[in-house]
Copies of this chain bind each other. A is one copy, B any other.
Amino acid sequence: MAWHKQHKVNSKDKILASAAALFTRHGFEKVSINQVMASAKMTRGAFYSHFESKSDLYAQAIIKAAVLAKQQQLEQCSDDLRTMSLTYLSAEHRDEKLENLCPLAFLVTDINQQDEVVKNTYTKIFKGFIEQTQSLTQSKSAALQSAALLIGGLALAKAINDHALSDDLLIACQTGVTELTVRND
């Protein structure tokens, strides 16, 4: 691959990484193209040689966010649902202390206001999430319940302003997920 071609790929990836971090933290509307490009050390004008529109960026950015969050999770070696729930439903994740945040939880109602391309992308990511939980639970129903407890529990814990109650909620959802796990021991 030629240098200038690689240059473009690197720039686009930098924009996507910046967008993934900003969108998961602040949502679609509160993030401007200016902010994303500044975070990627570029100016606004360069944006449109990589993306068609802000919505186009958003769709690609949530995929990037999901991939990064998945990589981060694998580094923690969580191969069962119980240990996975401990990091997913952690105070660090809720408080944005982790570098990569799960877009499924942090943008769950944000998606309703977006176009069909974004909704399709979100759904695709969710299906990947379900495949993972399904391989670790007894049934499809248990996999869906786990997903609701994980994603829904984290989103709710984030929205709640009462720290003690939010912590209780995280723990209760961890317990709920654990009880849905296949018992092999």
Q: Are B149 and A27 closer than 8 Å at their CB atoms?
A: no
Set of chain B residues within 8 Å of A175, measured between Cβ atoms: 141, 145
Q: Are A111 and B148 closer than 8 Å at their CB atoms?
A: no
Q: Are B172 and A141 closer than 8 Å at their CB atoms?
A: yes
Judged by a CB distance under 8 angstroms, whether A92 is at the interface is no
Known: A30-B113, A106-B109, A109-B107. A148 touches B144 (CB 8 A): no
Q: Are A144 and B173 closer than 8 Å at their CB atoms?
A: yes
* Closest B residue, CB atoms, query A166: B123
Copy number in the complex reads 2
A171 CB to nearest B CB, Å: 8
Set of chain B residues within 8 Å of A145, measured between Cβ atoms: 149, 172-173, 175-176
Judged by a CB distance under 8 angstroms, whether A162 is at the interface is yes
A127 CB to nearest B CB, Å: 7
A24 CB to nearest B CB, Å: 10
Set of chain B residues within 8 Å of A159, measured between Cβ atoms: 108-109, 111-112, 119, 122-123, 126
